[in-house]
Structure 1
């Protein structure tokens, strides 16, 4: 089944990607497949999905200052 698109353009925050298929908590007909972007989910939902091993949240790369000259 196709999932429902509810993406918001320019969503702030880290990117969250599905790494194990799962179904929507509110609509069991909606399936999130491996590789889908779920960055628009609320923070609590993202934390639970990450703890369950269903998504991977891309951590922002640490910025290192350029070497002093």
Structure 2
């Protein structure tokens, strides 16, 4: 990735769209959008990523070690 130069990322985004269309993605059936242009997309990811079942956490060794301390 090229975080220091956003123009490279923007160019890569359009290159990726061209690749998908060339691979056969039907633009009439598929909704293609740039996730970073939709703030709600990042907000939804943040909210959903905070929902981890406690059972999953209890199976993680580092979490168990932290709980024992």
Query: Does the pair score TM above 0.5?
Result: no
Select the structure with the greater relative contact order (CA < 8 A; seq sep ≥ 6): 1
Higher helix share: 2
Q: Which TM-score applies when normalising by structure 2?
A: 0.20
Larger strand proportion, structure 1 or 2?
1
- After TM superposition, the score normalised by the length of structure 1 is 0.20
